[in-house]
Each structure stands twice: as structure tokens, then as C-alpha cells.
Structure 1
Amino acid sequence: MTDVLRYTAFTTDPAGGNPAGIVLHADRLSDEEMLRTAAEVGYSETAFVLREGRTRPHLGLRFFSALDEVAFCGHATIATAVALAERGGVGTTVFDTPAGEIEVATAVVDGVLRASLTSVPTRTRPVPDAALGEALAALRLSAADLADVLPPLLSYAGNEHLVLALASRQRLAELDYDFTRLKDLMTAEGWTTVQLVWREDEDTFHSRNPFPVGGVVEDPATGSAAAALGGYLLSLGHVPAPRTVRVVQGVDMGRPSELLVDVRPDDPRVTVSGAAVELPTPQG
């Protein structure tokens, strides 16, 4: 039986955030066993730490959803870093992931253990018209639902995300989409999530992230998408000076989450920070 820890990331409340499974010693597991373990855990992702041939601060890290391996998962990375810090002390860990090296620093801030991951260099590209039209149809949105000053873009920060800014908070709250249709589109296009955002003010975004390709309707906190949002803002010229963006996610699901996104105009990488807390192991 594989020992699995359960943490929820981007919150200090066990009732909030995005749960992730964590296997701290996964070197003896095959790909099939990792996938089976992730399916048994049942969260959007489970992280597997690889130690063979490495010494901390360098560790391997892989991520599996219930359906497949994922190149990068932000909330599971944050959760894993916190779990390691609780057992081995705070500091910096460099995770070798399928998406590249991800550096994560842990520290106690105002009495709370927090982790900050630095993404791979972000980049954006336009959304093909046909793919955008199909995405809007699957999401049951129209062009009139989109914000005027924040155009649709594909943003990469280890995974590619479609970023759609909505014109109203109400429309974000009303999210209701065709699961199979969106999953088929995302699989064909290679998108990991669709990131729907509404900008409350210059530094606060509300977000929802459909994740049908991972077998779940929605993620309550998505670190990789938050990093992609930072890259999105950077590419649009919205970062003339270093800034911190607060992403509020999971509210409409009843699992409130907070992600802090630090962006610099001279660096294509993005830092995403948050807390994490251990969940009790299910009985039975």
C-alpha cells in the first residue's frame, strides 16, 4: 500500500483550497502505479517525489491526475514543498519536473508556513479563431460576455492555459459548461485548463478553472494557471513595475483559496505563493 499524504493548498483552512495527494518516496513506483494511486486518491492531482540519485535541495517531482500524467501542477507543488518543510525544515528546493526545473522557497511568514514557486519562463500566443469559437460555445459564453481590455490569449507557464477575461463577476459565478465538448477541445489543442477571470480592481482577480481533461469539473485553486495569468499580464504590458496580483479562486465551489502572484517587467518567470495545510487521512 502506497503511503499518501493529503494536503490542501492555497489556504490555511482544511475546508478551503485545492486538495492534493503527496507521495514523499515514489522511486519504486512504476508509471502505472502512480496513475493508479492518483486515481485512488481521487484529487485533481497527486504529486510523487523522486529522490534516487538526488540530494536535497534537488528532487524529482511528477504529477498525475486520475486520467494521465500532467507536466506541471502548481497547487501540488506548493503542498509538497510545505510537507517537506514541515519534516525537514524551511529553505529552497529545486524540483526537476517534466516541465523543467521549478524552484520553491519555504518560509514562516506571520506564523504561517508558506511556499513560493518560481515558474519556468512564461510566454503567450494568440488563440486560433476556430478554437476560441469552440471554447466559447462549450462554455456557453458569447463574445459579449468577455472584457473589452483583456483579450483572449493562450498563456504558458509549464502548461498551456486559455485565459478568458469576463466582463462581470455574475457571469463568472454562472459558470455552466459542456464537459465532454470542452474536454475534447482541450485535448485536441493541448490545453491544461481554461482560466476564466474577472478583474475586481488593478491587483485583484477572481478566477475559475474548468479542468475536464483531469477528470474534474473545476479546480478550486490552480497554481500553474495563476502563473500563466502573471505571464498573460506581462505580455499585455500590464506590468510596468514589479507588482503582486491576488487571485481569489474556489469561492463559487465553497473552497475559498488565495494565490499571490509576483510579476516583474524584466523577468518572464512568475512567482506564485500560498500556504498549505495537511488533511486527515480518510478512514476505512
Structure 2
Amino acid sequence: MTDVLRYTAFSSDPAGGNPAGVVLDAAGLDDAAMLAIAAELDYSETAFLTAPPEGLGEAGRAFTVRFFSPKAEVPFCGHATVATAVALAERIGPGDLVFATPVGTVPVTVTDDEGVLRATLTSVEPHVEDIAAADLDEALAALDWPAADLDPALPPRIAFAGNRHLVLGAATRERLADLSYDFERLAALLRRLDLTTVQLAWRASGTVFHVRDPFPVGGVVEDPATGAAAAAFGAYVREQGLVPEESVLTLHQGEDLGRPGVLTVTLRAGDARVRVGGAGAVIPG
């Protein structure tokens, strides 16, 4: 019988953050079995670990990781990466890990902060691109957001740091809190544009943001805390010149769902990759 662990990421409280499934030994599972486990668990993603490619990282601290939503395999998942790293650290100790993922090699460092395990992943090389006006109009129509509710200081873009995400800035916290969208219409747009989520963001201060992530392509109305989108968002704000090249951002997510989480996004001068970190905890049950 496959042992499916349950962890939350980006919170030290099991009732906060974003739950993920973790299967530490998926060697005997084929794609259909992994998808079935993810669908039965019904979290936004479940991570499945197998042996690493030859020569990747330190023995016993390197793994191949695949991610499945309840609907399909996804190339990368930040919160399941954090959850997996915390689960491993509880068994083999904090320190450096290396994950071979479908989008590339993702290093992760786990530290013990007075009994709270925190994992920080380093993204693959990110990039940012424009979105066509017609596609933006369709996204706003699916969200039922008037264009006037967008923050002109956060221009719409598509950002990638493992997955592609449409970034939209909300002019007010109230706009961000009022999320009721056309699930099938937005899902169709995201599939056509090869997007994973829409990263909705409201800027509370220079380096503090509140974010939400509709995730209809994964069969989930909203992802409570989204590490891959946070990495893409870090690349986006840097590319737009919205923060200094060397910055630490705080992203609050999940408050409107009753599952508050905190994501720390670190940007380093001279390094295009984005670091995303947060606490993790086992979900009892």
C-alpha cells in the first residue's frame, strides 16, 4: 500500500498554508496510479519521489520529483516542493536537497528555526512576456473584473519560473477579496495560453503583497499558497523595475480562504533565479 503523507506549505500551522500530498517512494507507481492518488487526495498537487538521475547531488539527498494535480500532471509545483523538503528533513535532517523536476533541477535548502522547519527553493531561469490585448480582455471577462479595477502600476504580464502565470494587479484590497469567476471560461483561456494560474496581486507596501491564484486547469477553484507563482511574481516585479534588484518580498496568501500563509521571495543581484521559502508542517490525521 502506498504511503501518502499530508503536509502544509508556507505555514507552521497545519490549518494554514497550502496542503500537499507527498509520496516519498513512488518507484512502483505508473502515471495512472499517481494521477489516481492525486485525484483521491484532492489537494491542488501531490509530489511523487523516485531515484535521482545518476550524478545528481549528494547520495540520499537528491531525488526525482513529479507533481500531479487531481486532473493532470503539472511541470512544477512550489508548495509541494516545500512540503516534500520539510517531510524529508524530518526524516534525514535539515540541509541541502536537490530535486530533478520536469522543468529542470531545483535546489532546496531546509533550515530549523527554533523547531520550525523552513524550506527555500531556487527556481529555474525565469522570464516575463507580454499578453495580447484580446487575451487580457478575455481574462478580465472570465474574472468579471472591470479594467478600471486593475492597478496601472502593476501592468499585466505573463511570467514564468517553472510554470507560466498571468499576473494581474488589483487596484484595491477589496477588489482582490471579491473573487467569483467563470470557472470553465477561465480554464479554457489558461489551457489555450499554456498558463497554470492567474496570479492576482495587491501591493500593500514596497515589498509586501497580498496574492490569490485561481487554478481551474488543476480542477481547483483557488490555490491557497502558490510557490511557483510566487517565483514567477518575483521575476515579474524585478523585470518591471518595481523593486530593487536585491530584495526580499513578503507575499500573504490564503487569508481570503481561511488558510493564511506567508511566502518569502528573495531576489539577488546578478542572479536571475528566484528563491521562494516558507515554513511547513505535517497535517495530522
TM-score (norm. length: structure 1): 0.97
- Contact 1:234/1:265 (<8 A) preserved: no
Give distance in 2, aligned partners of 1:61 and 1:166: 34
Shift of 1:239: 3.7
User: How much does 1:52 deviate?
Assistant: 6.1
**Corresponding residue for 2:211?**
207
Map Cα deviations across residues 64-84 of structure 1 (whole Å, 9 max, x no partner). Answer: 001100000000000000000
Partner of 1:196: 200
- The equivalent position to 1:276 in structure 2, one of 256, 277, 280, is 280
> Deviations for 1:133-188, whole angstroms, at most 9, x for unmatched residues?
10000000121011011100000000000000110000000011000000011011
Point out where structure 2 has 5 or more consecutive residues left out of the alignment. Answer: none
Partner of 1:43: 43
> Please, which of 253, 262, 265 is the counterpart of residue 266 of structure 2?
262
Q: Which residue of 1 aligns with 2:18?
A: 18
Letter in 1 for 2:272: P
**1:97-136 alignment to 2 at 5 Å?**
97-136=101-140
> 1:240 Cα shift?
2.9
Q: Does structure 1 residue 80 correspond to structure 2 residue 84?
A: yes
Cα distance, 1:32 vs. partner? Answer: 0.6
Displacement of 1:53 after TM fit? 5.8
Q: Aligned partner of 1:249: which letter? A: Q
Q: Is the 8 A contact 1:22 1:76 kept in 2?
A: yes
Change (3 A) 1:49 1:210: same
Q: Distance in 1 between matches of 2:245 and 2:86?
A: 29
Report runs of 4+ in structure 1 exceeding 3 Å deviation.
52-55
1:65 aligns with 2:51: no
| Counterpart in the other structure of 1:156 | 160
Q: Any idea what SS the aligned residue of 1:38 has?
A: helix
Letter in 1 for 2:68: F
- 1:248 is matched by which residue type in structure 2? H
Q: Percent identity?
A: 56
Number of aligned residues: 281
Are the counterparts in 1 of residues 207 and 243 from structure 2 also a CA contact under 8 Å?
no
SS in 1 for 2:8: strand
Q: Is the 8 A contact 1:239 1:263 kept in 2?
A: no
CA contact (8 A) 1:16 1:256 kept: yes
Which digits, 9 at most, give the CA deviation of each residue in 1:54-107, with x for residues without a partner? 533321000000110000000000000000000001111110000110000001
- Give how far 1:122 is off: 0.9
Aligned to 1:167: 171
Q: Specify the code of the residue in structure 2 equivalent to 1:159.
A: N
Contact between 1:239 and 1:265, CA under 8 Å: does it hold in 2? no
After TM superposition, give the deviation of residue 14 of structure 1 in Å: 1.1
Give SS of 2:230's match.
Answer: helix
SS of structure 1 residue aligned to 2:276: strand
User: What amino acid sits opposite 2:275 in the alignment?
Assistant: T
8 Å Cα contact 2:171/2:202 also seen in 1: yes
Unaligned runs of 5+ in 1: none
